[in-house]
Amino acid sequence: MAFTPTKETYSGKVYPVTIGTGDKAVTFGGENVLPFNSFEGAAPNAPVIAYEIQDVPPTDWPENVQKPFAAVSDDPVKWAKYCQDELKAKAIALRLVGTHPDRENRTPEEASKTVKDVLAAINIPLIILGSNHAEKDSQVLIAVAEAAKDKNCIIGKAQEANYKTIAAAAMANNHKLIAMSELDINLSKQLNILITQMGFEKERLITDPMCSALGYGLEYTYSVMERIRLAALTQNDMTMQPPMLGDVGMYVWKIKETQAPESDLPHWGPAEERGIAWEAVTATALLIAGAELLIMRHPKAVEAVEKTIEELI
């Protein structure tokens, strides 16, 4: 007797989001089933992975993830072009770390020039991220949103402390927006509601419930993402239906397991392989939890996750 799998049907659907322009634009989201359960319904778009770059050299990254970009990471334009041309990136995530008051404290004007230069050098979609300093991001992201006007970028991250100014800037300049809350489904829902009440279209939002690395609360992250996705599909909760972001690299490459040298902990195995595996496993877990967009760092980790996506689809 042939096996017939049990099928679930869902009343809700994740909004599809398209970023970029022309033939290099990409779309993620749009499914009406749980992750990779395409046998139950429609999952028209594969998850998208964006390579993370910075506006300043990544001196705070571990050596093993600095190494693949050593020849280009002194210049965000060269770095972006390398990811596009050599690594065949589908999208770039530019993190404006240099604008943080505790780093170089770069001005909004300097950040705008960096964004313009990167956009002029690539033809794939760009995600523009602040330094995660709420007050400074309010100034910087307004300026860079205008600098990238009509390029259909993703701007982020809007938080409870600064969402009004950042959402207004994204709306005025025709961009998508990341709404970030702190690992709580109710806070995530509340922020999405507040942003849409401003007139920002819910179909242009990306939810970032925050994430964590394997071994550092990943189970809790997974459960929050899973609950968001179930609310979207089973309860048809429109505030929970934007696609989700997993900002993987920044959380993975700061933990002990990806930084500790092999000489200190030889029984943990080769440090570079360990870090790559840690990023790939974390990213895969978030995909299964419901993330449709990932930001990652190491090319070999990206390669492994893209292969996993291909096999699961």
pLDDT in tens, 154-172: 999 999 999 999 999 999 9
What confidence score (pLDDT) does residue 4 get? Answer: 81
What confidence score (pLDDT) does residue 194 get? Answer: 97
Position 13 confidence tier, pLDDT thresholds 50, 70, 90: very high
How far apart CA 126 and CA 270 sit, in angstroms, is 33
SS3 283: helix
Look at residue 7 and tell me whether its pLDDT is greater than 90: no
User: Is 11 a domain residue?
Assistant: no
User: Is 14 a domain residue?
Assistant: no
In Å, what is the CA distance from 292 to each residue of 178, 230, 262? Answer: 13, 14, 34
Task: Indicate the number of domains in the chain.
Answer: 1
Alpha carbon 179 to chain centroid, angstroms: 11
User: Is 286 a domain residue?
Assistant: yes
User: Is 37 a domain residue?
Assistant: no
Look at residue 247 and tell me whether its pLDDT is greater than 80: yes
Region 212-230 average pLDDT: 96
State the burial class of residue 75 (Cβ atoms within 10 Å of its Cβ: 0-12, 13-18, 19+). Answer: middle
Look at residue 289 and tell me whether its pLDDT is greater than 80: yes
DSSP 197-218: HTT--GGGEEEE-----TTTTH
Which residue's entry shows tokens 């925050």?
210
User: Is 157 a domain residue?
Assistant: yes
Domain that holds residue 196: 44-312
SS3 17: strand
Average pLDDT, the chain: 96
How far apart CA 56 and CA 180 sit, in angstroms, is 23
Region 20-42 average pLDDT: 96
Task: Determine if the pTM surpasses 0.85.
Answer: yes
Region 257-272 average pLDDT: 90
Look at residue 71 and tell me whether its pLDDT is greater than 90: yes
What is the CATH classification number for the domain harbouring 277? 3.20.20.20
